Amino acid sequence: AAKRTSRGVLAYLPVMEASSPRRLRLVTELRRAVEAGDLRVHYQPQVRLAGSELSGLEALVRWQHPEHGIVPPDEFIPVAEHTGVIGPLTQFVLQTALADLRDWGRRGHHFGMSVNISVRSLLDPGFVEEVGHALAASGVPAERLTLEITESSVMSDPERAVPVLERLRDMGVRLSVDDFGIGHSSLTYLRRLPVTEVKIDRSFVSTMVHSPEDLAIVRAVIDLSEPLGLTVVAEGVESEETRLELTRLGCGVIQGYLLSRPLAKVDLDRWLERRTVA
């Protein structure tokens, strides 16, 4: 994806004024993509370090653009968030991920599913009900769904975000603080949030075996999360060396290219088969 030329969707992004023609075109194309079914959901495995059990998958959206090919989410999620497109996009990802999870469940796989939620969706008045409907329609138990919300988005408006998180928790949905460590909020604040999981940001994990400072941050998150009963997920694990260090530190779950890149459902099925055989 990084090799895409300046003709790609990237070319639209430098001009971010609300009314710029390029941006409007991107928004129109994105809206059409949601309606036309040009969005895809890929899945990346999360594995428990103790026992190597697959604990869950993270759903990551992709845009299959008719001209530009696969467009990564970093290029269109920010635009979707600043327009109304994020609402239908979030619903699409949630429904697709839960339908696929039901299908895996029928075939005897009982892992969980994590879905990324923008703060704009979280604070949407109908959001909690929509999650309830999506769960009911799929028949997936609420405890199998984890919603990932970035640390910075919860912190941007805790007065509004926390009550919504509490309603979701009361439904049985699990909640994860994503990109943890870059928002500079104190770990003790986590105690006041109704969350079950913390994801240490990739920027610390990918460098921890070479940077004593990053290693110290990873260690602090792991050590302080345990007494709070929080599962720690380290994202962006790319090397065996990092996996070993995380095992030594007592990290709960890892995710990253070392295990697998995010995969389309059919490819994830093959990944699952290879694991069973191995």
Binding site for ligand C2E (CB under 6 A): 44, 60-61, 72-74, 77, 93, 116, 118, 178-179, 202, 235-238, 256-257, 262
Smallest distance, Å, CB 22 to Ca ion? 25
Question: Does residue 197 bind Ca ion (CB under 5 A)?
Answer: no
Smallest distance, Å, CB 94 to ligand C2E? 8
For Ca ion, which stretch binds (CB under 5 A), given 115-123, 163-171, 226-234, 247-255?
A: 115-123
Identify the residue whose tokens are 């075939």: 107
Question: Does residue 148 bind Ca ion (CB under 5 A)?
Answer: yes
Decide whether 77 or 145 has the Cβ nearer to ligand C2E.
Answer: 77
DSSP designation for 124: S
Smallest distance, Å, CB 227 to ligand C2E? 25
Please identify which residue in 100, 178, 197, 214 interacts with Ca ion, judged by CB under 5 A: 178
What is the DSSP pairing of strand 69-71 with strand 54-65? antiparallel
Smallest distance, Å, CB 194 to ligand C2E? 20
* Cα distances (angstroms) measured from residue 273 to each of 123, 125, 278: 39, 41, 9
The answer to whether 231 and 211 have CB atoms below 8 angstroms apart is: no
Q: Which of helix, strand or coil describes residue 74? A: helix
Closest CA to 152 of 189, 206, 97, 191: 189
Smallest distance, Å, CB 172 to ligand C2E? 21
Choose from Ca ion, ligand C2E, none: what does 60 bind? Cβ within 5-8 Å by kind.
ligand C2E
Decide whether 252 or 262 has the Cβ nearer to ligand C2E.
Answer: 262
The answer to whether 79 and 23 have CB atoms below 8 angstroms apart is: yes
Decide whether 2 or 21 has the Cβ nearer to ligand C2E.
Answer: 2
Sign of torsion over alpha carbons 133, 148, 32, 96: negative
The answer to whether 27 and 83 have CB atoms below 8 angstroms apart is: yes
The answer to whether 267 and 261 have CB atoms below 8 angstroms apart is: no
The answer to whether 105 and 140 have CB atoms below 8 angstroms apart is: yes
Identify the residue whose tokens are 């509004």: 160
Choose from ligand C2E, Ca ion, none: what does 236 bind? Cβ within 5-8 Å by kind.
ligand C2E
d(CA 71, CA 106): 31
Residue, CB closest to ligand C2E: 256
Smallest distance, Å, CB 192 to ligand C2E? 23
Question: Does residue 116 bind Ca ion (CB under 5 A)?
Answer: yes
Chain residues in the site for Ca ion (CB under 5 A): 116, 148, 178-179
